[in-house]
Structure 1
Amino acid sequence: MLFSVEEEGTLEGLKEQDLADLGLLERQDLQEWTIEQPRILGEDLLVITSEYANFEDTRDRLDILALDQTGKLVVVELKRDRADRTTDLQAIKYASYCATLTAEDVQKDYREFWSSRDETELTPESVGQTFVDFIGESDSLTTSSDGWAEFELDQKPRIVLAAGSFGTEITAPVMWLIEEYGMDITCRRIEAYEHQGRVLLNSQQVIPVAEAEEYMTKRREKQEKQQQRSRRPAAINVLLERGVLRPGERVKYDPERVPADANRTWDEDDDFWWATVTGDTGQSDNVQWEHDGEVYSFTGLTKEVLHELVGRDRDEALNGYKYWCHPKFDDRTLSHLRSSEATGTERSGELEGDQA
């Protein structure tokens, strides 16, 4: 339940309502909100297309097709209020159709959808760069001669079901598919409230439940590792293993990446532009910003820096390794050092064998 703090300091409980009772529609409202703000589904997603119907021998239309930052397709089914009995089967059917798509297919679908929606002709080069920038740890990606980003799509798309509520006719089979077959299915409940003439939405994950999500995630990761022959390791792991990065050493924000309209000037003596490598290899504990002492991933830190400089939206995708330079490697970016296969033996200002 949501509460509103009134001017006199009292709490007012807000009553949840159906979107239908508020006069809101599934396609014109809920679907449009999700396209414009995919974070309503609880994560960063790149929307590829909506009302997707490019399936052979069927007139079925998928609500939304998206890509997550690992480069995995996400099939999204939306229901304005209670999910009906066939919502899960419908999504599974769409996922099976999408399993045959290639990286170039989805980029062409993205180009067609967004060119039409924004009334501007996107080029293959601009679309390819959008995908390169969006996919996490993307410094290894290249583009084809036609401009498309080159990467491999997983053959098992994820499924996200979003609805006003879910009955056991949905939750029971979804839990069974997750636990017994390792399917990646998420159910999110969209709650609606009306307050002072405004509609408020709350998106809450109901399956997997928070207590079981870590276990299920680890189980899926194990299955994926067994099924996939190889996967390019994260940039932070590679840079630490090669000795390019070492715990406790400093890296600096690339002066050439400072926006022209930034509210701060690059200054080597300003700790705003410096960060210290932690040596950890998790997704969000790689580097400590000397400006605030907080620990981030390189991508998270870069988003924070740009938000401070020009108010850039923290939800916009980017590859943080392109924005930080290593003073011991002629100020080359971490992205360049990763892709060039540099090692610690190339660092300047050290005697051979010096590990300090």
Structure 2
Amino acid sequence: MYKVDIENKKLIKLNSTNFAVMGLSEPYDIEDWIEKTPLVLGEEYLIIGRQYILPSGRELDLLAIDKGGSLSIIELKRDNSGIEVEWQAIKYASYCSRFLPEDIFEIYASYLKTDIEEAQAKIETFIEVELEKLNENQRIVLVSKEFHSDVISAVLWLRDFEIDIECIRLKPYLTPDNQLIISPEKIIPLPEAKDYVIGKQKKEKEVKKSKIRSTFSLEKSTLNESELKTELKATFLKSSDQTKRLIKFFKILLSEDKKFIRKEIINQLFHEGIGTNEGQTGRFLSNISQYFTKTNNSHLRQLVSFDTGGGFGEMKDNYKIETKYRSLVEEVLSNLNEI
């Protein structure tokens, strides 16, 4: 690597070094750098955990989410990958593949030292897919100055079997005045070959999906009006961005006694400042719809009718507050100074 001396029109060679000589380590230095600037890995990541302890007692270096909602296991080595780093990361990924969205919110909340609602809101804002897609796939990102040939061979073989695993080389250099410069380089897969690589096929994970479906229900409660008011008030008092969106959603439905199609609600939510673009607003509406079908929200399904294919993950449409409950919803919102 060379530094350009523009004034004197010459190149100054930078000396390659290694992290050990510099007294730098992966848990206290390299991990810090990537945690604070994950873009050094070549794309945007949301770091949701650091040194996360698995049931085996082993610590996962960094846990992250990419824009597509994939859970990303980032494993760091200092100057040499060793010969088993990929196997170690695979074990971590196999464990993390079981995480439900609620598990991920809890992990991120612990990392942020905040509540689950705020953690969920931050994840919703970051990802560019619907919340139902969270952790549908997993990725492994190996980071080191050098990679052992056995690791390279294993990674290439795993990719042949559609395991999403990549290697990123972090090479340190010293300037003549002893400033440290880091040069990141993705060596697997090669960026030049990316357009020619067949996209990873989505494998069905029936066990995980069955767990997710266990939180899905279309059953309505049969509460009396007093009980409904209590439940709805408790829902609206939850402190989260999701609650703010839910209240705006109800206010839209209250504006007319009719069925509202999905596109109409998206337009009005976007006009109310929900989402930076209509695509994100649509994902927020999908998250509200998913919230309606959670088993413990049967009171919301008693209040609001909607059309659905009847299965988990199917799009919902034609939302309407049941006419007999419109005044009840208005009263609850009014008492909360939302109308």
The C-alpha deviation readout for 1:30-52, integer Å capped at 9, x for no partner, is 00111111111111111111111
1:94–1:67 distance in 2 versus 1, CA, 3 Å: same
- What's the % identity of the aligned pairs? 30
Q: How does 1:245-260 map to 2 (within 5 A)?
A: none
In structure 2, what is the Cα distance between the partners aligned to 1:322 and 1:155? Answer: 23
8 Å contact kept, 2:112–2:119: no
The C-alpha deviation readout for 1:205-241, integer Å capped at 9, x for no partner, is 001123433233x241xx22x64899xxxxxxxxxxx
In structure 2, what is the Cα distance between the partners aligned to 1:22 and 1:103? Answer: 40
8 Å contact kept, 1:189–1:206: yes
TM-score relative to the length of structure 1: 0.58
Q: SS at 2:50's partner residue?
A: strand
Correspondence for 1:109 among 85, 90, 107:
107
In structure 2, what is the Cα distance between the partners aligned to 1:336 and 1:171? Answer: 42
1:130 aligned onto 2:148: no
Q: How does 1:213-252 map to 2 (within 5 A)?
A: 213-216=194-197, 218-220=198-200, 223-224=201-202, 227=204
- Runs of 4+ with deviation above 4 angstroms: 226-230, 254-257, 333-342
Q: SS at 2:89's partner residue?
A: helix
**Larger radius of gyration between Structure 1 and Structure 2:** 2
In structure 1, what is the Cα distance between the partners aligned to 2:64 and 2:137? Answer: 13
1:202 aligned onto 2:183: yes
Q: SS at 1:67's partner residue?
A: strand
Give the structure 2 partner of residue 85 of structure 1: 83
In structure 1, what is the Cα distance between the partners aligned to 2:118 and 2:17? Answer: 42
Give the structure 2 partner of residue 300 of structure 1: none
Q: SS at 2:83's partner residue?
A: coil
The alpha carbon displacement at 1:123 in A equals: 2.4
8 Å contact kept, 2:69–2:129: no
Q: How many residues align?
A: 230
Give the structure 2 partner of residue 66 of structure 1: 64
More helix as a share of residues = 2
Q: SS at 2:184's partner residue?
A: strand
8 Å contact kept, 1:4–1:14: no
1:10–1:174 distance in 2 versus 1, CA, 3 Å: same
Q: SS at 1:81's partner residue?
A: coil
Correspondence for 1:174 among 155, 167, 174:
155
Give the structure 1 partner of residue 40 of structure 2: 40
TM-score relative to the length of structure 2: 0.60
Give the structure 1 partner of residue 193 of structure 2: 212
In structure 1, what is the Cα distance between the partners aligned to 2:133 and 2:44? Answer: 19
1:187–1:334 distance in 2 versus 1, CA, 3 Å: closer
The alpha carbon displacement at 1:112 in A equals: 0.9
Q: How does 1:260-299 map to 2 (within 5 A)?
A: none
Unaligned runs of 5+ in 2: 210-260, 264-269, 287-315, 318-339
Q: CA RMSD in A?
A: 3.1
**Residue type of the partner of 2:41?**
L
**Residue type of the partner of 1:214?**
D
8 Å contact kept, 1:107–1:128: yes
Give the structure 2 partner of residue 329 of structure 1: none
Give the structure 2 partner of residue 95 of structure 1: 93
**Residue type of the partner of 1:52?**
Y
Q: SS at 1:166's partner residue?
A: coil
In structure 2, what is the Cα distance between the partners aligned to 1:256 and 1:152? Answer: 26
